[in-house]
Structure 1
Amino acid sequence: MRRPPRALHAVREALLWVAAAGGVVCATLVVLALVFDISLMMFRTGSMAPAIPAGSVAVVREVPAREVAVGDVITVDRGASRLPVTHRVTSVEEGQNPGERIITMRGDANDADDPFPYEVTTVRETLFSVPGIAPAIVWLGHPLVLGGLTLAAGLLVGWAFWPQDRDDRSDRRRAEPVGQLT
Structure 2
Amino acid sequence: MKYFAILSALIYFDIILDDAKAQLSIVNGTLAKIGQFPFAAAVINREYNKSTCSATMIAPKYALSGAYCFVGVRTGLLLVGDVESSPPQKPAPPSRQTRKIIKIIRHPQARTAGDKVNYIYNLAVLELNREVISSEGVSWIPLAKTDLADNSKCVAIGFGFHRKAEGEHDGKLRYGTLTFFL
On whether the aligned pair clears a TM of 0.5, the verdict is no
With the length of structure 2 as denominator, give the TM-score of the two structures: 0.26
Higher relative contact order (CA 8 A, sep 6+): 2
Task: Give the strand-richer structure, 1 or 2.
Answer: 2
Task: Give the helix-richer structure, 1 or 2.
Answer: 1
With the length of structure 1 as denominator, give the TM-score of the two structures: 0.26
